Amino acid sequence: MSAIDDLPPLRDVIARHDLAAKKSLGQNFLLDLNLTARIARTGGRLEGVTVVEVGPGPGGLTRSLLAEGAKRVIAIEKDTRALGALAEIAARYPGRLDVISGDALEVDMAALVGDGPARVVANLPYNVATPLLIGWVASDRWPPWWDGLTLMFQREVAERIVAQAGDDAYGRLGVLCGWRCEARIAFDVGPQAFTPPPKVTSSVVRLTPRETPLPCPIRALEAVTQAAFGQRRKMLRQSLKSLGDAAALLAAAGVEPTRRAEEIPVEGFVALARAFEATRG
């Protein structure tokens, strides 16, 4: 473990603060500060940037974000057992670490960050990772308050995020993320890197917001992708019937009625969403 700061090794921190991992909180800790530094750097330089971290736990990634020069880290943690360990990091980096004790699903992050560039970097708890991502990407406000997301997911979820038409993993998540962001898998992380090790491989995903995503009402996009992927092996003329006159929708969007959801690129779903919105007046 390289010495990025003069704080004690994470194993000692975990023992001293009695932070035995809880499965119910999706706790798989990263203790290798070389790896957390690599994650911190994946989204680009951090000087002058405010970083929101969900689930700092004992604070390995938090320490790397601060050591890599983040102007300020806002760390949102549900487990109150971690607050003592995080207070020690805050004392080592005066004025640069704000710890919010609470549930990240209920925190208004945009209100917390204020002006200037902000980024999300997190080793997410797997049980709330997808709803958090959808909250960031499906934001009513665009461009959003963040200029990038660097997030750890289970590999299977990462594949769904970056999937394109024709890929096995392509579905609603891939359409939503592809519409609003450029998404790529930066690197994989094996189970042994975590304490305790999870059953599956994880991946760090990097999402960058598109400046001008194709204009599209988000609720309509959700309705269309839900209908289409709800019956993904069926032709769209069948699967879109729940939305009304499927043939008219497909004609208005310029999409062939015999195509299946998994073959339609993001632009096709945007056209369908706009056609659907028009039918609702």
* Contacting positions for ligand SAM (CB under 6 A): 25-30, 54-57, 60-61, 76-79, 82, 103-105, 123, 125, 128
- State the burial class of residue 116 (Cβ atoms within 10 Å of its Cβ: 0-12, 13-18, 19+): exposed
At its nearest, how many Å lie between ligand SAM and the CB of residue 22? 7
Count CB neighbours of 110 within 10 A: 15
Whether the upstream peptide bond of residue 143 has omega within 30° of 0, thus cis, is yes
Count CB neighbours of 107 within 10 A: 15
Of residues 27 and 150, the one with the C-beta less far from ligand SAM: 27
At its nearest, how many Å lie between ligand SAM and the CB of residue 57? 3
Of residues 26 and 268, the one with the C-beta less far from ligand SAM: 26
Q: CA-based angle 91:19:121, to the nearest 5?
A: 60
Partnered with residue 101 across adjacent β-strands are 77
At its nearest, how many Å lie between ligand SAM and the CB of residue 146? 17
At its nearest, how many Å lie between ligand SAM and the CB of residue 141? 22
At its nearest, how many Å lie between ligand SAM and the CB of residue 226? 25
Residues in the chain: 281
Per DSSP, which regions of 113-267 are E strands?
118-123, 149-154, 181-189, 194-195, 202-209
Q: Which of 247, 244, 255 is nearest to 279 (CA)?
A: 244
Of residues 128 and 264, the one with the C-beta less far from ligand SAM: 128
Of residues 154 and 239, the one with the C-beta less far from ligand SAM: 154
Give me the residue whose beta carbon is nearest to ligand SAM: 55
Of residues 77 and 262, the one with the C-beta less far from ligand SAM: 77
Q: Which of 104, 109, 113, 138 is nearest to 209 (CA)?
A: 138
CA distance linking residue 62 with residue 97, whole number of Å: 9
**CB-side exposure of 236: number of CA atoms within 13 Å?**
26
Of residues 55 and 268, the one with the C-beta less far from ligand SAM: 55
- Which residues fall in the annotated binding site? 28, 30, 55, 77, 103, 123
- Which residues fall in the annotated binding site for S-adenosyl-L-methionine? 28, 30, 55, 77, 103, 123
At its nearest, how many Å lie between ligand SAM and the CB of residue 204? 11
Longest dimension (CA), the chain: 66
Q: Which of 224, 185, 208, 215 is nearest to 137 (CA)?
A: 208
